[in-house]
Structure 1
Amino acid sequence: MIQFSLKCDHDHRFDSWFKSARAFDALAKAGHIQCVVCGSGNVTKAIMAPRVSTASSTDKDDPAVNPRVSALTRPRTEFEKKLTALRNEIEANSDYVGNDFVKEARAMSAGDVPERSIYGEARLDQARSLMEEGIKVIPLPFIPKQSTQ
């Protein structure tokens, strides 16, 4: 895993983790990286300082020795705290339908299944199609935990 500092064309700056530098390049080329603040798809790597670890390899996973271990999951800014709260609220009160999101949204709209709060995966063109059909959807500013495990 590698962490990149990123910025959008509106100069919003944020960090994100990627499997590799090649994975970042592939996702960026495919248009799958968006600004967490404004949603812009024009995101590039920002200049960042390298991190040098002084902990031994046996200590690297120990939060007492390496404070970055626990810091990876702890929100740092007020925005990140609010985003974490939003994520927790959605995941606690909605059903995750994964790749069936579009199918489930259409079925609810048609009255084929009972309405409920759902969230899941959809491509941009699929989300636009739902909106054009009058089905209310909104992109979430995070990747659901189920799709990252």
Structure 2
Amino acid sequence: MIRYSLRCDQGHDFDGWFRSSEGFESLRTAGQVSCALCGSIRVEKALMAPNVATRAATAPDLQSPQTEQEKALADLRRQVEENSDYVGMSFAAEARAMHDGTKPERAIHGEAKLEDARKLLEDGIPVAPLPFTPRHRTN
């Protein structure tokens, strides 16, 4: 496997793993390599420096946000968690009960099956997906 630093025609940088150089080229030519941020299929290999291990190598920080997008997503997650109640898989039932007036209205977030979320929207109950998974289910 080989890792390439890639860049799309919109200037977004991202990485991709490929079986070989030829594998990358055939996938790119077929339009199957796309930007992880905008979806553009106009992707080229970016200039790369070799990855040389040193004795004093430190482990990368995988917990802290690195890009502006990751920071914005972390801020959104923090705001949602601080200002709403997590109701888990009871989200659809809780949202419907608040809409029907059988439970007091409050800000909630949780999880719902796709069909349940679709039924809420069809019934005029405003819901929206969040762009992150709940911390309650992550390891």
Fold shared by both chains (TM-score > 0.5): yes
Partner of 1:24: none
Amino acid in structure 1 at the alignment position of 2:106: R
Q: Which residue of 2 aligns with 1:99?
A: 89
Q: Report the AA paired with residue 67 of structure 1.
A: A
Larger radius of gyration: 2
Report the AA paired with residue 59 of structure 2: P
Cα 1:86–1:74 change in 2 (3 A) is same
Q: How many pairs were matched up?
A: 106
Deviations 1:88-147 (A, max 9, x none): 000011000001001101110111111001000112221111000100000000001012
Distance change (3 Å), C-alpha of 1:13 and 1:132 = farther
Distance 1:132 1:118, change over 3 A: same
Kept after mapping to 2: 8 A contact 1:99/1:121:
yes
2:127 is the alignment partner of 1:127: no
Aligned to 2:138: 148
Letter of the 2:102 partner, please give it. Answer: D
In the alignment, the residues of structure 1 paired with residue 121 and residue 88 of structure 2 have an alpha-carbon distance, to the nearest angstrom, of 19
Query: Identical aligned pairs, as a percentage?
Result: 50
CA distance in structure 2 between the aligned counterparts of 1:53 and 1:95, rounded to whole angstroms? 46
More moved, 121-130 vs 90-99: 121-130
Q: RMSD between aligned alpha carbons?
A: 3.7
Query: Alignment partner for residue 137 of structure 1, among 127, 131, 136?
Result: 127
Normalising by the residue count of structure 1, what TM-score does the alignment of the two structures yield? 0.57
Compute the displacement of 1:148 (Å).
1.2
Contact 1:98 1:147 in 2 (8 A): no
Shift of 1:77: 1.1
Q: Distance in 2 between matches of 1:13 and 1:131?
A: 36
Report the CA distance between 1:85 and its aligned residue. Answer: 0.2
Runs of 4+ in 1 over 6 A off after TM superposition: 12-15
Listed as ranges, the gaps of 5+ residues in structure 1 are 1-11, 16-35, 41-46, 57-63
Partner of 1:83: 73
Q: TM-score, normalised to structure 2's length? A: 0.60
Match of 2:59 in 1: 67
Is the Cα contact below 8 Å between 1:102 and 1:130 reproduced in 2? yes
1:14 and 1:97 mapped to 2: Cα distance? 35
Query: Aligned pair in 2 of structure 1 residues 147, 53: CA closer, same or farther (>3 Å)?
Result: farther
